[in-house]
Amino acid sequence: MKIGLRLFAVAAAAVVCLLAAGCGSNKGGEIEANYDGWMLTHWKDGTALAGSVYLQLGEGGTFTLYQSIGTFGYARFSGTYTLGNEPGTGQVLSGSYADGTPWDSSYAVEKMTKRELRLRALKDGIVSVYAGVEIPASVKDGVTAGQLRRAAQLRSFL
């Protein structure tokens, strides 16, 4: 039993390494990248997004989601995730937000490389495709329209 747990821990650590940092050797002449997250590139059979989404999965089982859908700036959401195996499904990514709200769905990991992450929602089968990226500092700063309005209001009083 302990050996099985150790093997799972090693496998989980390797998966997190791939997800969070895109670590590994430089194979096939690919340029080694300093990826720290993922950018959603396709979802729901290519449905266009009115914005962008970045996902960062940390080594300690924490995640950060940066989302700008139909708004100016990025909203930042965080919480915890788990990556486990389910019989008949394979690797499954699940999580909950910092306030304890579970994700809308768990996701079967269909493909995971240094450059691509493909997730299929177990709830409705929608596939999301993420590309490995270095998340821009401007996204991580999380500037929102509300913050810009408040800053402008403060400047008008000075």
pLDDT score of 125 more than 50: yes
Q: What percent of the chain has pLDDT over 90?
A: 47
Q: Where are the beta strands (DSSP E) in the chain?
A: 37-43, 51-57, 62-69, 75-86, 90-97, 107-112, 116-121, 127-133
Quote the tokens at residue 126.
């929608």
pLDDT, one tens digit per residue, over 13-46 is 333 444 444 444 444 444 557 788 999 998 887 7
Between 97-106, 111-120, 142-151, the lowest mean confidence (pLDDT) is in 142-151
68-85 pLDDT tens trace? 987 778 889 999 999 999
